A and B are shown apart, each in its own frame.
Chain A
Amino acid sequence: MTGQTLIHLQDVSKRFVKGKDTITIFDHLGLSIPAGDFVAVMGPSGSGKTTLLNLLGGIDQPTEGSITFDGGRVDTLTEGQLARWRAHNVGFIFQFYNLMPTLSAARNVELPLLLTSFGRAERKRRVEAALSLVGLAERADHYPREMSGGQQQRVAIARALISDPKLLLCDEPTGDLDRTTADEILAMLRLLNQEMGKTIVMVTHDPEAAKYARRTLHLDKGRFTERELVA
């Protein structure tokens, strides 16, 4: 199922300067993620998992080294180019869902489409399809506060999928959910990976969650140790 390299990190270093101190998170890190992979990233708190997602998602830039996505350099893009690149290529799923509380589910899912040239009717059609895919067609007009955590996260997944990106980045997507709900969400992610070929990188503390991935990377002191897991 996995194929060509989708993301490639070469000699990536990431340092934060805080006053006089410089914190080095990654020092000449290398990583390849093939298209269609589902990677779980685990590791102690502060090991740089979120920082890694930020680099993969074009939210943050490496101090040194190069990042290629689908054969093109990402680390050299300007802020405006990165925003457009993210809109087309990356869907984000957060621990706390990050829905707009003042917008209905449908309007939340529609957000990424507002950056495309689709007209109103086409946007509506796609929003309905995406909400059906996550099983929330009936909830289109509901507001986030009227939904459970699991439902909100499914809306967030629909939002991440709506512009059909190749890559989904999830930071602790089940960190705020109970076991049963977490399993539903994880099963959904696995489905997206297996049936729709989405490449997924998921940060998690939960070994049970990591079992849904094709492989798990352990991040510690700026280095990976890989352990294959069969999904």
Chain B
Amino acid sequence: MRVFNEIAVVTTICIKSIPQRFWASFSTVVAVGLVVTVLLAFLAMAAGFQQTLRGTGTKDMAILMRAGSQAELNSGVTRDQARLIEEAPGVMKDADGKPLVSPELYVIVDGVKKTAVPADGNLKKAPRSNLTLRGLGPAGIAVRPGLKIVEGRAFKPGTNELMVGRALQKDFAGVDVGDTVKLGNSNWLVVGAFELGGSVFESELWADTPEVQDLFHRQNVFQSIRARLTGPDALKALSDYAANDPQLKLDVTTEADYYAQQASRTSDLIQKLGWPLAIAMAFGALAGALNTMYSSVAARAQEIATLRCIGFSGTSSFIGTLLESLVLALVGGFVGTLVTWVLFDGLTGSTLSGASFSQIVFTFHLTPAVALQGVILALVVGLVGGVFPAWRAARIPIVEAYGTP
């Protein structure tokens, strides 16, 4: 209790003296806040990105790609292989007995981000970003029961018509229903917009496979096959079937697993960028914190020495100084979290996905786990920035109590 009283009053003295060094303390708070903002922006981006990819794909959809290809873009599947999969076990059939299998084409096209639209509105001169164009087989819409057409209609097979993901429309210009999009040498009409559970697909353009094959001169080649599974055991049946047929050198996974893997790769990359940058900045903030706290200790040297004279322990000066530093850092941490939340949370961004090289639209998400990492980084800065000055405070010679005011 006595020790507690002692520490409490020294801490009060330390913290109440902060306004006497207002600008130094303020700049420490700002520096720590900046570090936390940068870190949290990256981590919120990684979290949001992961959430978008994780939300993509379901467990009852199989995705088949060439063995070892890892990503749709690198894969290649033939028409013969697609035909074999239509007869495979574990594949669901529709009411008419037609297998729910969609051989799909996956190609990169380009578009103009809304932020890149020039002042005169002329999209032809604007810098372009990569986009995914997906060619869907005849069952392409039927294999995706979660699909919601929110505007217009689906494309008609055999025409140059496009459906556009909702997320893509938010981020890119000239892709509204009724707009004409030039892909290669032909013009495509946007006839509909869709939503699909906030997933990566909402960042894609969809069209009829044969038309896309024509456009890119890729007759008889696909990137992947989507197949709806009949139940929990169906994936095993399908992969066994593929493994036993020498013509089917394909990797079989659920769509959910495929995107989860893509998600962790990219969000790892984002975190690997964010942490070193934040830590490098944290050293700057640390220098500021040390400076502020050393000047705090110097300014209070006589007060500390007087307390020691009265009989207070060096420990209480140590803890009081350390807590002052932690309070400054914590305020910085909260300010940084708040700024990130106000500026970034819910903000839509798009980034190159590592595997597809096309834009994936996602939402920054400041999760509690992410915020906690920011606050912890702030506390580490406060702790390291406080511990050395606190040590000096504890060692102030008591005779310093004399001397001029």
- A residues lining the B interface (CB < 8 Å): 50, 54, 57, 59-60, 79-80, 83-84, 86-88, 92, 94-96, 98, 100-103, 107, 111-112, 114-117, 159, 171
Asked if A112 meets B310 with Cβ closer than 8 Å, knowing A100-B303, A102-B17, the reply is: yes
**Cβ–Cβ < 8 Å partners of B303 in chain A:** 98, 100-101
Given A102-B13, A103-B13, also A171-B402 (CB < 8 A): yes
Most B Cβ at <10 Å: residue of A59, A84, A102, A117: A102
Contact B401 A94 (CB under 8 A): yes
B402 touches A50 (CB 8 A): yes
Contact between B306 and A115, CB atoms less than 8 A apart: no
- By a CB distance below 8 angstroms, the chain B residues around A94 are 306, 401-402
Residues of B with C-beta under 8 A to A84: 311
Could you say which of B1-9, B99-107, B165-173 contacts chain A?
B1-9
Within 8 A of A (CB), among B54-97: none
Q: Are the CB atoms of A98 and B306 closer together than 8 Å?
A: yes
Which of A96, A100, A107, A115 makes the CB contact (< 8 A) with B405? A96
B309 contacts the other chain (CB 8 A): yes
User: A91–B75 Cα gap in the complex (Å)?
Assistant: 85
Q: Given the complex, which residues of B lie within 8 Å of A98, measured CB to CB?
A: 302-303, 306, 401
Contact A112-B13, Cβ < 8 Å, known A60-B399, A94-B402, A98-B401? no
Residues of A within 8 A of B27 (CB): none
Q: Would B2 and A59 count as touching, CB distance under 8 A?
A: no
Minimum CB distance partner of B9 in chain A = A114
Across the interface, name the chain B residue whose C-beta is closest to A57.
B309
Q: Which residue of the partner chain, among A59, A96, A112, contacts B398 with CB atoms under 8 Å? A: A59
- Contact partner, B2, options A95, A117, A171, Cβ 8 Å: A117
Contact A59 B309 (CB under 8 A): yes
Asked if B2 contacts A114 (CB within 8 A), the reply is yes
Q: Is the CB of B308 within 8 A of A83?
A: yes
Q: Is B124 an interface residue (CB 8 A)?
A: no
| B9–A111 touching, CB < 8 Å | yes
Nearest to A107 among chain B residues (CB) is: B9
Q: Is B261 an interface residue (CB 8 A)?
A: no
B307 CB within 8 Å of chain A: yes
Within 8 A of A (CB), among B288-323: 302-303, 306-314
Interface residues of B (CB under 8 A from A): 1-2, 5-6, 9, 12-13, 16-17, 302-303, 306-314, 398-399, 401-405
Check B309 against A115 for contact (C-beta < 8 Å).
no
* Chain B residues within an 8 Å CB radius of A117: 1-2
Instruction: Flag if B310 contacts A102 (CB, 8 Å).
Output: no
Q: How far is the CA of A88 from the CA of B310 in the complex (A)?
A: 9
Contacts of B1 in A (CB 8 A): 117
Q: Which residues of A contact B404 (CB under 8 A)?
A: 96
Residue of B nearest to A89 (CB): B311
Known: A83-B312, A92-B401, A115-B311. A102 touches B6 (CB 8 A): no
Is there contact, CB below 8 Å, between A115 and B310?
yes
Q: How far is the CA of A45 from the CA of B405 in the complex (A)?
A: 19
Can you name 20 A-B residue pairings with CB atoms under 8 Å? A59-B398, A60-B399, A79-B314, A92-B309, A92-B310, A95-B402, A96-B405, A98-B302, A98-B303, A100-B13, A100-B306, A101-B17, A101-B303, A102-B13, A114-B6, A115-B5, A115-B310, A115-B311, A159-B310, A171-B402
Distance of B400 from chain A, by nearest CB (Å):
10
* B9 contacts across to A, CB distance below 8 A: 103, 107, 111, 114
**Among A60, A83, A96, which residue has its beta carbon within 8 angstroms of that of B311?**
A83
Besides the known contacts A54-B399, A111-B312, A114-B2, 19 further A-B residue pairs in the complex with CB atoms under 8 A apart: A79-B314, A83-B308, A83-B312, A84-B311, A92-B309, A95-B402, A100-B13, A102-B16, A103-B9, A103-B13, A103-B16, A111-B307, A112-B310, A114-B6, A114-B9, A115-B5, A115-B312, A117-B1, A117-B2
